[in-house]
Amino acid sequence: DFPLLPYLDDAEDEEPGGFDIRITVEINGQVVAEPPFASMYWTAAQQLAHMTVNGASLRTGDLYGSGTVSGPETHQRGSLLELTWNGRDALELAEGKRTFLEDGDTVTLTAWAPGPHGTRVGLGDVTGRIVTAP
């Protein structure tokens, strides 16, 4: 690992910042991964600082996208490419082994974060369905 550049290194910031977002990834209703946002290499604040120092402008209401969220354990890999190790290791689904998505598959991402005193902050879910190309 390389040391952080000064604009990204805040030694006074003892907490990584933001929510410890928990994500569940399902394919056709079957949980295939649970990547933790807490394992991201860069914090959201560092990613936003890096974007803006390189010229990107941000305004109130802008949506932040971190990219693929993955953890160090196999069940924490956040993409099918990572889950199957680039297609080498097939993923076991109820429909059989898979190394890629097929027409008709649905992928659902559900997220939440721990709140104060054991509560949960629900962030909702989003589902996409693979359709046949025209």
Does this model's pTM top 0.85? no
* CB neighbour list of residue 100: distance below 8 Å, 6 or more residues apart: 80, 84, 87
Helix or strand holding residue 123 (H, E):
strand 120-129
pLDDT score of 14: 61
User: What residues form the annotated binding site?
Assistant: 68
Model confidence over 69-88: pLDDT tens digits? 999 999 999 999 999 999 99
Asked whether the beta carbons of 89 and 66 are under 8 A apart, the reply is no
Express each pLDDT in 4-58 by its tens digit: 888 888 766 666 566 789 999 999 999 999 999 888 888 888 888 888 998 999 9
Which of these, 67, 81, 85, lies nearest to 23 by C-alpha position?
Answer: 67
Q: Domains of the chain, with CATH numbers? A: 20-129 (3.90.850.10)
Which residue numbers belong to the known binding site for substrate?
Answer: 68
70 CB neighbour count, 10 Å cutoff: 19
